[in-house]
A and B are shown apart, each in its own frame.
Chain A
Amino acid sequence: MTAVLDVEGLRMHFFTKAGVVRAVDDVSFRVERRGILGLVGESGSGKSMTGYSIMGLVDPPGRIVGGRILLNGRDLASLEPEAWRRLRGDRIAMIFQDPMMTLNPVLRIDTQMVEAVLAHHDVSRDSALARCREALAQVGIASPDERLRAYPHQFSGGMRQRVAIAIAIVNKPDLIIADEPTTALDVTIQGQILFEMQKLCRESGTALLWITHDLSVIAGLADHVCVMYAGRIVESGSVDEVLDRPRHPYTRGLIESVPSRNEPGRPLPQLAGMTPSLLALGASCAFRERCSRALEACAEAPVAEWSGERSLRCRNPLP
């Protein structure tokens, strides 16, 4: 089975006055049809920038400098901007973090949804509206007709995110990139949205790339996970394997700092230190300064080693 999305050695750098920031550095992963891939990492690890790169939404001074982004076997990175734009919102859709901000406050929901359909399909307004109603029903919004005529400010946060998801699925894309779409929502709503998204992907066969910093979300949602650190994927594999038997010290640190896994009364283990500045990355492993297992050999950055579906980028991995 061919992957819907196959990213190979993607590099996206920002060319700033202070120097080159390697926001995404040699990132490779694939998402199958119906597959859900979790992309996990701290703020500034490059996970969102990976998503933006796939969408073709990187603005100068950022630029994709290498690698391939294959969507159904077609390389997006080599496309003209106009051809990429036509795929955006049609074959690949994105859901953003803050539902309060992603809907245009002055336009009604129907205007915004119909616009998304008409930007890519030469259909009548009525049939576009029918698609919108269908999409709203799919994300669990009751009485779609009434909702279509409303303005964003009349919705709660959870409802807005449902509308944003409906806009993303209205053209039945092959791939949805979700950039922390539940971070701004409270936990009960988060659970509902995760459930809906998982159901939608399973039913329609859409591949899903879920970007988050929250490992507990990934645990319940995704089947594969990539852990990103300082622009690189340090560990990847199936969710069960990676979360149950992490081999990269960073992955273990992330898992240990999830409060629910800790015994009450004991201090919560933390990852010491901060994410390094991507400007000052030397030749050594980016995690070296914070790593308890660092060796002399870590002065030279490790390369990704694959065994089956798992990859690891560490010179002294956990057993």
Chain B
Amino acid sequence: MSSLADREPAAPVVEPAPAVQSPWRRFAADFAESRLALFGLALLVSLLMVAILAPVISPQNPYDLAQLDVMDSKLPPGEHSSTTNKPYWLGTDDQGRDMLSGIFYGLRISLAVGIASTACALAIGLLLGLAAAYFGGWLDTLVMRLADIQLSFPAILIALILLAVLGQGIDKIIIALVTVQWAYYARTVRSAALVERQKEYIEAARGLGLSRARIVVRHLLPNCLPPLIVVATVQVAHAIALEATLSFLGLGLPITEPSLGLLIANGFQYLLSGKYWISFYPGLALLLTIVAINLVADQLRDVLNPRLRR
């Protein structure tokens, strides 16, 4: 049997080097394939801009009660102020508040609450889910049973009870939303991490003598992110809708700082008397926000799901 080393050395392998293409660039190209998703993204970005720039672009500061004029209450869209003659493009509500400004500011609050609560819930759920998957045992059982209990109650019920106990305020509503949402992330991360953990690259990383913390943070976590990004995007929309519901029920934010839900609630009683605009326009803004986020989330799911990858 001749030894392999006796043979002529093989020529070095030359494979055409492909242009270095990072996963992010590939991801962006995949995302841009759907026009609808791009439209959703554009809409979402515009809404975010409006929310951020609300104090600059709003005709009126809806929080400054001194600027409100009761004489201007319930004016239809396009009507001019009786005192300053400024136009109210989307009409006014029963306090004489400019609806357009109210919507801009309401959007700001709704998006801020949605994003902040999602970020907090994501951080908590991620940590608990990863720990549950990696360490297993009693920690896994504890976290997952907690999540099961949490998810077996309707979200709105838990949020209502919490707010009834905690009281009103933007921080309280964020706490309520985080409590309702963390379990989704914990579950998603855990199931993704359990799958990834079995893969050989984790074994290989252990074979390299990397520390446990490093393996979890650098190798396990990044590979669990795709499903999490999808869930997080959808959950922002859920959080906004839930916040709007709570505010509509009067348990969310104080009436002086109305979010979209509260604006809708304000116009609710005038809906049947023909003064549709007080509820309609904030409702439309809420709808557009949620649709935009969902369009983006749908495409994210398609792009990030390996089973749907073409």
Mark A residues whose CB is within 8 Å of B: 55, 57, 85-90, 93-94, 96-98, 101-107, 115-116, 119-120, 140-143, 146-147, 149-151, 154-156, 158-159, 162, 164, 167, 191-192, 194-196, 198-199, 202, 219-221, 239-240, 243
B207 interface neighbour in A86, A96, A141, Cβ under 8 Å = A96
Q: What separation, in Å, do the CA atoms of A31 and B208 have in the docked complex?
A: 21
- Return chain B residues, CB-CB under 8 Å to A102: 200-201, 203-204
- Return chain A residues, CB-CB under 8 Å to B1: 219-220, 239-240, 243
Mark B residues whose CB is within 8 Å of A: 1-5, 7, 9-10, 12-15, 17-18, 20-23, 199-201, 203-211, 214, 218-219, 222-223
Q: What separation, in Å, do the CA atoms of A143 and B17 have in the docked complex?
A: 9
B209 interface neighbour in A96, A119, A243, Cβ under 8 Å = A119
**Is B200's CB under 8 angstroms from A96's CB?**
yes
Q: What separation, in Å, do the CA atoms of A167 and B204 have in the docked complex?
A: 10
Q: What separation, in Å, do the CA atoms of A97 and B207 have in the docked complex?
A: 13
Give min CB distance, A39 to chain B, whole Å: 17
Q: What separation, in Å, do the CA atoms of A220 and B18 have in the docked complex?
A: 34
Q: Which of B5, B201, B205, B206 has the most CB of A within 10 A?
A: B201
12 more A-B contacts (CB under 8 A) besides A93-B207, A104-B219, A150-B17? A57-B207, A88-B206, A89-B210, A103-B204, A104-B222, A107-B219, A154-B18, A158-B13, A192-B13, A220-B2, A240-B1, A243-B1
**Is A89's CB under 8 angstroms from B218's CB?**
no
User: What DSSP secondary structure best describes chain B's contact surface?
Assistant: loop
Which chain B residue shows the least CB distance to A223? B3
Give min CB distance, B220 to chain A, whole Å: 9
- Return chain B residues, CB-CB under 8 Å to A57: 203, 206-207
Closest 5 CB pairs of A and B: A89-B209, A89-B208, A88-B209, A101-B200, A94-B207
**Is A198's CB under 8 angstroms from B3's CB?**
yes
B23 interface neighbour in A55, A106, A221, Cβ under 8 Å = A106
Give min CB distance, B306 to chain A, whole Å: 10
Q: What separation, in Å, do the CA atoms of A73 and B135 have in the docked complex?
A: 34
Q: What separation, in Å, do the CA atoms of A239 and B3 have in the docked complex?
A: 11
Which chain A residue shows the least CB distance to B202? A104
**Is B210's CB under 8 angstroms from A162's CB?**
no
